[in-house]
Amino acid sequence: FQAEDGIRDRSPSRGLGDVYKRQELAQAYGGHGEVVRSSNEFPPALERARQSNKAAIIDLRTDPKAINPLTPA
């Protein structure tokens, strides 16, 4: 992926979708992990992560176009 500013995204999980389950990575290391698919799910997920008192990954599955319509496909 090449951003408009010329910076290349080297994220190993980019484009893998559900194949790369970040929440399971957190859980495998004894942390808290969950997936959030809508903005109204985020506040309770954040609270659960905080209440766990563990390292946490909240995997935000959002539509980039919903955040910024100029985001390239």
pLDDT above 70 (res 62) = yes
- Which two structure tokens, joined as six digits, stand for 26? 């957190």
Answer for the pair 36, 12: CB distance below 8 angstroms, yes or no.
Answer: no
CA pair distance 22, 4, nearest whole angstrom: 27
- Residue 37 tokens, joined: 């698919």
N- to C-terminal Cα separation, the chain: 10
Residue predicted with more confidence, 45 or 68: 45
Report helix, strand or coil for 55: coil
**Stated pTM of the model:** 0.61
* Residue 17 confidence class, pLDDT cut points 50, 70, 90: low
Work out the average pLDDT over 27-38: 91
Q: Which helix (H) or strand (E) covers residue 46, if one does?
A: helix 42-52
